[in-house]
């Protein structure tokens, strides 16, 4: 339910700001939703949603080259009445990620790396 709450919160935020939003099928590879500004249907952007019930690192898998969506939105407190979103580009997600030591070597986006003022509720960055 946390994933759905975050996804639909993002759709609500973007709709309020004049975007047409279409969620994809859950667990599909790639973007979780696509958004297009009302005045330019051809400017569709893919968005990856990561919803968290509390402050935590975001798992990114073991191969950063498999990450696809150009924009990522991390929703903290997705099940709360007033969630907070952080808007990052794919390049920022990759640049700010850290990797486990030892076996598995998974990548993570630590909370301290996405919880920055420049990403907080930064919907204006989506272009």
List pLDDT tens digits, range 20-39: 999 998 777 789 999 998 88
Give me the mean pLDDT over the 96-102 stretch.
91
- Report the number of secondary-structure helices (H) and strands (E) in the chain: 3, 8
Q: Which CATH number does 2-55+65-90+113-125 carry?
A: 3.40.1350.10
Residues 87-112, mean pLDDT to the nearest whole number: 94
Give residue limits of the domains in the chain.
2-55+65-90+113-125
Cα(first)–Cα(last) distance of the chain, in Å?
29
User: Is the pLDDT assigned to residue 73 strictly greater than 90?
Assistant: yes
Separation CA 73–CA 49 (nearest Å): 5
């Amino acid at each position: 339910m946390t994933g759905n709450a975050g996804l639909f919160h993002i759709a609500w935020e973007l709709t309020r700001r004049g975007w047409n939003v279409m969620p994809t099928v859950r667990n599909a590879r790639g973007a979780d939703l696509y958004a297009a500004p009302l005045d330019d249907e051809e400017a569709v952007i893919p968005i990856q949603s990561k919803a968290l019930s509390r402050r935590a690192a975001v798992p990114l898998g073991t191969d950063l080259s498999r990450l696809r969506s150009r924009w990522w939105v991390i929703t903290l407190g997705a099940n709360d009445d007033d969630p907070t979103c952080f808007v990052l580009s794919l390049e920022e997600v990759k640049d700010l990620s850290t990797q486990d030591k030892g076996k598995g070597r998974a990548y993570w986006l630590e909370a301290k790396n996405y919880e920055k003022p420049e990403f907080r509720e930064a919907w204006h960055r989506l272009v």
